[in-house]
């Protein structure tokens, strides 16, 4: 047998030097974590730009919405609010007194907010119906009627047996704001009860998160929230 010549180097096999699984570790990791991360990215994008879900905390919107209902809210159409829309908005200042969670609960909440599983400032949102848009004059005589721009409303969504408003008021909605009221008028601390606040009871449009469109849970309550605009069909433009 002929000996190999001195000083001749043989190329090193990648397979021999690094092993049969070399380079597969990172690829395997990508295969494992890639799909969940992609799904998470889509969720974050959708919940940041398209829609969010909120749980109704009180009876102020009965019978349209009841406590425990989960609603889907669209985020992209807040610039086109109309009378009759049901909207979710940040507390414009002093409407709610909800303490922030602390400790582990607070840390978990912050993580869920960062991941867009929860909205910003969870626990500091309200849901009401838009009754007046910029320029509208909204009036209640305190005897059970509400009018917008001189037209008395026939509000079929108001909770059965409840007056449209037992509180008298006469307001003109300023630019950049809306006037909101709950459908359960005798159990809704809405714009009527915050006229002494910084915004005079009006909600800045900039604080509106989105428009509630569908009840998705519980399944027995599944349905849309359309139809509210019909009560304002005869109201002239402001």
What value does the mean pLDDT take over residues 85-102?
80
- List the one residue out of 120, 139, 136 whose CA is nearest residue 177: 136
Instruction: Show the domains of the chain with their CATH numbers.
Output: 16-43 (no CATH), 51-232 (2.10.109.10)
Position with higher pLDDT, 111 vs 69: 69
pLDDT level of residue 33 (50, 70, 90 thresholds):
low
pLDDT level of residue 38 (50, 70, 90 thresholds):
low
Active site residue 128: yes
pLDDT level of residue 194 (50, 70, 90 thresholds):
very high
* Residues 142/168, Cβ–Cβ less than 8 Å: yes
Residue 144 is classified by DSSP as S
Which one from 13, 58, 128, 143 is the annotated catalytic residue? 128
pLDDT digits (tens, 9 = 90+) for 68-86: 999 999 999 999 999 999 9
Q: Does the pLDDT at position 118 exceed 80?
A: no
Which one from 13, 60, 163, 186 is the annotated catalytic residue? 60
Q: Does the pLDDT at position 35 exceed 70?
A: no
Q: From residue 228, how far is each of 52, 108, 168, 232 by CA, in Å?
A: 21, 37, 22, 8
pLDDT digits (tens, 9 = 90+) for 55-70: 898 999 999 999 999 9
Task: Give the SS3 label for residue 190.
Answer: coil
Q: Any idea which of 47-56, 79-88, 128-137, 144-153 has the lowest mean pLDDT?
A: 47-56
pLDDT at residue number 64 = 97
pLDDT at residue number 238 = 84
Q: Residue 132: which residues within 8 A CB-CB, separation 6 or more?
A: 83, 138, 148, 171, 173, 178, 179
pLDDT at residue number 47 = 55
pTM attached to this predicted model: 0.75
């Amino acid at each position: 047998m002929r000996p190999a010549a001195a000083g001749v180097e043989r190329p090193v096999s990648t397979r021999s030097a690094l092993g049969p699984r070399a380079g597969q570790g990172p690829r395997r990791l990508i295969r494992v974590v890639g799909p969940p991360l992609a799904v998470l990215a889509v969720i974050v994008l959708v919940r940041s730009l398209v829609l969010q879900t909120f749980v109704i905390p009180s009876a102020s919107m009965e019978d349209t919405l009841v406590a425990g209902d989960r609603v889907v809210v669209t985020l992209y159409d807040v610039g086109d609010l109309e009378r009759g829309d049901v909207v979710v908005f940040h507390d414009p200042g002093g409407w709610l007194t909800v303490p922030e969670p602390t400790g582990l609960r607070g840390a978990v909440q912050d993580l869920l907010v960062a991941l867009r599983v929860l909205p910003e400032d969870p626990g500091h949102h309200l849901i009401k119906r838009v009754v007046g848009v910029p320029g509208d004059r909204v009036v209640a005589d305190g005897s059970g009627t509400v009018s917008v721009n001189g037209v008395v409303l026939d509000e079929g969504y108001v909770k059965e047996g409840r007056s449209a408003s037992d509180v008298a008021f006469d307001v003109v909605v300023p630019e950049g704001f809306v006037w909101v009221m709950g459908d359960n008028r005798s159990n809704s601390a809405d714009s009527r009860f915050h006229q002494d606040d910084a915004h005079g009871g009006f909600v800045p449009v900039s604080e509106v998160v989105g428009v509630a469109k569908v009840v998705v849970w519980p399944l027995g309550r599944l349905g849309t929230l359309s139809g509210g605009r019909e009560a304002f069909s005869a109201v002239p433009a402001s």
